Amino acid sequence: MISSDVLLATLVLAPLIGFFINGLRFRSSDCQTAGIIASGAAIISFITSVVLTLRLVALPKDGRQITAHFFDWMLVGDFSAQVSFLVDPISAIMILVVTGVGSLIHIFSIGYMSHDARPAKYFAYLNLFLFNMLLLVLGDNLLIMFVGWEGVGLCSYLLIGFWFTDKEKAAAGMKAFITNRIGDAGFLLGIFTLFFAFGTVNFAELAARMPEVAEVGWTGPIALACLFLFIGATGKSAQIPLYVWLPDAMAGPTPVSALIHAATMVTAGVYMIVRMSHVFVLAPNVMMLIAVVGALTALLAALIGFTQNDIKKVLAYSTVSQLGFMFLGVGVGAFMPAMFHLMTHAFFKALMFLGSGSVIHAMHEEQDIRKMGGLAKKMPITHGTFLIGWLAIIGIPPFAGFFSKDEILWYTMAGKMGHPLLWLIGALAAIGTAFYMTRLMALVFWGESRVDSKVHPHEAPLNMTIPLIILAVLSLVGGWVGIPHALAQFIPGHPPHLLGDWIKPALVPLDLEAGPVVLELILMLVSVVLASVSAWFAYDSYLKNKARPTEIKERLGKAYDIVANKYYVDEFYFGKIINPLVGLSKGLWAYVDVNFIDKTTYFLADLVQGGGRALRSLHNGNLQQYAMYIVVGLLLALFYVLY
């Protein structure tokens, strides 16, 4: 039997090796070879993930941990950074999602990137991303997580700007990078705060050193650290106020949007908070803030989704909104449901992004949904799978999204840390989701065709449709691992809540004191009915009464403009923060730099150079003189030491 150390090393190193192979032949334009190398690496990682997870299953319930210590990275004083990995129920889910969905997206990319000039470079970046993402989720301390955190940010930047010759796309990459840097600074401050307060950055040690009682107020070390870490999470996971980069990130190739900007990287913030659940529960104020930010992001992003006409932008805002749901979940202490939603979301959102990729591919790079319509007949597989994704995201049972989203909403309503107001915002966001996703379906796949006569859409090749089908199956059955007890009692065999039993031992023990079963059932019914009504309304508006959307738009007037312009957040950032900063730095350069700093450095440089010339004359090659220096030095030494 292969030792777990070897398996873990293989898991992480396979994509890195793939990166090196494709990186060294980055000029190659052979998409097949590059794709097979990269996909092979991803699949190897997936297989090892499965083996590791199976070994985890075989372990007793409260001892499910596989650790591997590779080497000490650095030891400075009390501080030690170790390269060691931890597989527990939480990271097991992540590695399965990352490598599983990752493998499918790698395979899909072989078809999608077949016309590109630099596929080897693309696949090299994709493998590098996988490597860093695995570091992020496997590290058993914050430092390794941070290395991965920065690494995925870098890959995200490289892939958003993959077609960097297009200025707009390069700028989108830059925007993502800079916005993330702001979050990363918060993340680093959080690590520092925890290290100074508790003397360690290792997750297990941190959990062990936590005090018994929760902290009061905002200024204790735990609250401060959690606040900083959450700032990091808002950057990476695109929450208010740092969500602005994610919609622009759609400039990257569509499979990248599916992998990085929907299924994996953007969920890193959620994963980080779940991983640190022992710490976060001790800062109730920050938890409340997380819940509020999550709920607001879910609603506001869903509203923007109403107004977008670019297929990928709609999906992007939907991602921001769904991430908001996850943060709402962790904010009310529902860590397990948040991880559940993270997983199901990875399935159905990757599915829909790949589906949109298939559509864009078929439409010859056209992304405007007003120029689509009636694609269902031309692209049956894409339509069928997208349909399942749609049912999953709007929360129709028995599709995956229903179970996970409703569980979050249930804890928001009935949990100890929840609040009915938060539930209301979440429910409104869910209704909004049903509306704009149905609008997307109606405009893209249904109704009559508005496709340009020069474009002849066709179904994608097999290596693109197979990943779609697999993801569609997962979007259907993925939720069945977490059937709530309220429903399970009506199902023959009473299926247990597998995911809950799996994750709970790894989380901080937390009793959320959920309410009566009847209420849970009523709430489920309410959300399904509301989502269906909302979806029917959208269907009716965009396929039957086509005048209605314009009517509503005109009646809303100013309010619609504000939403359509994304609440003018970008304009605010540019006008009030970026431009003044640029102005300030220009002023500093023109005045302080030129007059003060430059002159000082010139003076110092002249001084040192003069010294150098003077010293040069002392080293003139004269032997007697050198001997004299020794004698003088000796006499000085004796004089100095003996007197």
Binding site for another protein (CB under 8 A): 71, 73, 76-77, 605, 608-609, 611-613, 615-616, 618-619, 621, 623, 625-627, 629-630, 632-634, 637-638, 640-642
- Looking at residue 117, its amino acid is A
Nearer to another protein, 195 or 560 (CB): 195
Q: Residue 29's closest CA among 110, 106, 119, 100?
A: 119
d(CA 202, CA 268): 18
31 burial (CB, 10 Å; 0-12 / 13-18 / 19+) is buried
Nearer to another protein, 117 or 635 (CB): 635
Nearer to another protein, 139 or 389 (CB): 139
The b/e string for 218-250 (b: 16+ C-beta within 10 A; e otherwise) is eebebbbbbbbbbbbbbbbbbbbebbbbbbbbb
Nearer to another protein, 58 or 76 (CB): 76
CB of 28 to another protein, least distance (A): 21
Nearer to another protein, 490 or 639 (CB): 639
DSSP state at residue 80: E
| Element at 57 (helix H, strand E) | helix 31-58
Nearer to another protein, 1 or 642 (CB): 642
Nearer to another protein, 558 or 616 (CB): 616
All residues at 6 or more sequence positions from 525 whose CB lies less than 8 Å from its CB, including other chains: none
CB of 81 to another protein, least distance (A): 11
Nearer to another protein, 555 or 616 (CB): 616
CB of 197 to another protein, least distance (A): 23
The torsion defined by the Cα of 65, 323, 368 and 386, in degrees rounded to 10, comes to 50
Nearer to another protein, 188 or 288 (CB): 188
Nearer to another protein, 552 or 638 (CB): 638
d(CA 135, CA 152): 9
d(CA 204, CA 194): 13
Q: Where are the alpha helices (DSSP H) in 72-166?
A: 89-112, 119-138, 142-160
CB of 236 to another protein, least distance (A): 24
Nearer to another protein, 462 or 604 (CB): 604
CB of 20 to another protein, least distance (A): 14
Contact 275, 190 (CB under 8 A): no
CB of 226 to another protein, least distance (A): 30
The b/e string for 405-434 (b: 16+ C-beta within 10 A; e otherwise) is bbbbbbbbbbbebbbeebbebbbbbbbbbb
What is residue 564's three-state secondary structure? helix
d(CA 561, CA 557): 7
Q: Residue 352's closest CA among 517, 449, 474?
A: 474
- Looking at residue 49, its amino acid is S
| Element at 590 (helix H, strand E) | none
CB of 600 to another protein, least distance (A): 13
CB of 202 to another protein, least distance (A): 20
Q: Where are the alpha helices (DSSP H) in 211-334?
A: 221-236, 245-248, 254-258, 268-275, 277-280, 284-307, 311-331
CB of 619 to another protein, least distance (A): 6
CB of 642 to another protein, least distance (A): 6
CB of 447 to another protein, least distance (A): 58
User: Is the preceding peptide bond at 516 cis, omega within 30 degrees of 0?
Assistant: no
CB of 192 to another protein, least distance (A): 18
Nearer to another protein, 71 or 490 (CB): 71
Strand partners, 79: 76
Strand partners, 141: 202
